Structure 1
């Protein structure tokens, strides 16, 4: 079932808003320590605890308004609950920092399995946004698969070798910028393999 169209600003706010709130809250509380039930928690853990219900509420609102959630949105929500919950429960920020790695590994692996079967699973979820010929989808899928594995590796390097603050900046802006830059460099592929609207109607 196709997703209902909603105000693009509202859609962006529901998708990106929780991440920006997480970033702002982290900057506000990063140097503070809180004692709850006799246990000390760093600001990062408290911010993570607040991020989980906020992200779920925004995802639920998107589903309510559009009647649709992408596989990535569903998997991301599940992993946020699992790994964010583990970070809060065990008072260990490493679990939450691993989440992007697992997201990119899961989707990179899924796309890779599709490629081994001669299929583009990326086409299944994005064809309505970017109509391409089959060969174009296969090339783009191979590139996106490599991108996902590369981002998974990069996230591991960042959180294991740099400070929590550096990782938060990377998670908030770096990953988004990397994906945006990647698609901006695919212009030649879209131009070469794109399906014109008239051609699509003729078929």
Structure 2
């Protein structure tokens, strides 16, 4: 059973999402929250697998709530937003979000998203993530990490990280390295583990922030 907290300051949106998810046999909504403070408290109390966080909420916004939740728990975070109007998506990624949902998401896509993130996967396809990160890094949203952070990686793992940032899947990485898909998956896992990253989304960000990949260049 996947346990979920839904946090949105709009009661109708919050209740609608909760109703859809709670109707699934394998999903249980354990709490609802109207702001970031309530969301953090709900995650602390209920220890859910996934929390849906509206980026813009009164008091504490979803980004700060995501930072706290990511630092204190293993709960996976999905941000609720309207991408075309939101300029905080990159900050949300840096705060630990595993992906995004538009507020007008379809019922089936909402359920699928929760299941995907609960399994430890990122919600955005790597190629979409790359374009998203490039948009915000070109706009000056990054606060670079020291390149020395990558010193823990082997040359193969650094190359794997570069390929992740280019939006390549595990089979594509395997083909480029002329190794098995299992080996490529191992390289990806090692990159995430050594750098203390939750998922591929965070790996893409690390590649940009350390200068391994330069926005707009291939």
Q: Do they fold alike, i.e. is TM over 0.5?
A: no
Larger RCO: 1 or 2 (CA < 8 Å, sep 6+): 1
Q: TM-score, with normalisation over the residues of structure 2? A: 0.29
Q: Which protein is richer in helix relative to its size?
A: 1
More strand by share: 2
- Larger CA Rg, structure 1 vs 2: 1
